[in-house]
Amino acid sequence: MSLLVVGSVALDTVETPFGRAEDALGGSATFFSAAASLFCPVQLVGVVGDDYPMQGLQFLADRGVDLGGLEQAQGESFRWSGVYSYDLNSRETLDTRLGVFADFAPKIPEGFRDAEWVFLGNIDPELQLGVLDQVRSPKLVACDTMNLWIDIKRERVLDLLQRVDMLMINDGEARQLSGDHNLARAARWIQSRGPRYLIIKKGEHGAILFTPTGTFFAPGYPLEEVFDPTGAGDSFAGGFMGHLAQCGRLEDSDLRRAVVYGSVLGSYACERFSVERLRDLTADEVEERVRHFREMTSFELPVGEEAGV
């Protein structure tokens, strides 16, 4: 059940209407591993600078994340900063400082190359393609991308689509990539370019899974306290891939359940700044929220209660 993630390990400065965090642990690979490690062992590949507070990642190692592929290079760590508006649905990137990330060329350690489950976090599509040249025969490769790469490296993103099994992007990115404002049509267009499966994330409004045979929708978990949505998408991916790797199958029912686990992990990520909520999250708490999710979304009325509908 080996699960490999390649992505950013960052220091984030985030401002929300509820507070501010400076140089907090962040990055796609960090959020992904924090979520996925609640399900199965994870292998992480990334790079940080010599200024990175490595002790902050100890909780990942304690939860079974193999940090053997995390290179520490001379120079500054990747830093991202962003600010959220009052409804927390839109965010503005204030600054991106690549630091050692500028020269990052992922080297997959020999012991990670047989990974069965692979997640390519949001990095340059050329680098994502480079990772695919190094892994042997994964059961499922899923990848993320962002508006920046669709803008400046569209052809490479399209090359990537031909080589991955699944794409996980948000609704804006799906529209941008396909050139179609209608999400159902955008999905068919993306699937026709390669990936068998597609997940379109819609923030607090949930996520849609498109498979070759159908569509499944899961809402976002209605949280009373949303503190910081940074990393929710990567935590969704971690919960989703973690569940699949743990169950080891790819039946439609497994994929559907994985979407619910993704939604649950994404919701927990928003409850505090950075990875703070994921740090002490337990598998029991995840199961509790999945149970609540099932109650919330089931619309079969108990026998005998149909009257009046």
Binding site for ligand AMP (CB under 6 A): 8, 10, 12, 26-28, 80, 96, 122-123, 148, 230-234
Pairing of β 42-48 and β 3-6: parallel
- Output the 3-class SS for 27-72: CHHHHHHHHHCCCCCEEEEEEECCCCCHHHHHHHHHCCEEEEEEEE
Residue 151 Cα distances to 124, 148, 184, angstroms: 12, 5, 22
Task: Output 72 or 96, the one with its CB closest to ligand AMP.
Answer: 96
Least distance between ligand AMP and beta carbon 287 (Å): 23
Q: Show Cβ contacts of residue 213 under 8 Å, excluding neighbours closer than 6 positions.
A: 252
CB 63 within 8 A of CB 281: no
Handedness of CA 109, 110, 115, 120 (dihedral sign): positive
- Identify whether the C-beta of residue 116 lies closer than 8 Å to the C-beta of residue 139: yes
- Closest contact distance (angstroms) between CB of 122 and ligand AMP is 5
Cα separation, 198 vs 191, in Å, equals: 7
C-beta of 192: minimal distance to ligand AMP in Å? 26
Distance between alpha carbon 148 and the CA centroid of its chain, in Å? Answer: 17
- Residue 201 vs 257, nearer CB to ligand AMP: 201
Least separation in angstroms between CB 121 and ligand AMP: 7
**Beta-strand pair 19-26/117-120:** unpaired
Q: Which is nearer to ligand AMP, 116 or 124 (CB)?
A: 124
Query: What is the signed CA dihedral for 294, 297, 300, 304, rounded to 10 degrees?
Result: 80
DSSP collapsed to 3 states, 100-164 = HHHHCCCCCCHHHCCCCEEEECCCCHHHHHHHHCCCCCCCEEEECCCHHHHHHCHHHHHHHHCCC
Nearer to ligand AMP, 3 or 11 (CB): 11
First to last CA, the chain: 45
How far is Cα of residue 256 from the mean position of the Cα atoms in its chain? 16
Cβ-based nearer residue to ligand AMP, 201 or 289: 201
Residue among 89 and 192 whose Cβ is closer to ligand AMP? 89
Of the pair 96, 247, the CB lying nearest ligand AMP is at 96
Nearest approach, Cβ of 86 to ligand AMP (angstroms)?
Answer: 18
- Minimum distance between the CB of residue 230 and ligand AMP, rounded to whole angstroms? 5
**Judged by CB, which is closer to ligand AMP: 195, or 262?**
262
Residue 204 beta carbon to ligand AMP: minimum distance, rounded to whole angstroms: 13
CB of 295 to ligand AMP, least distance (A): 27
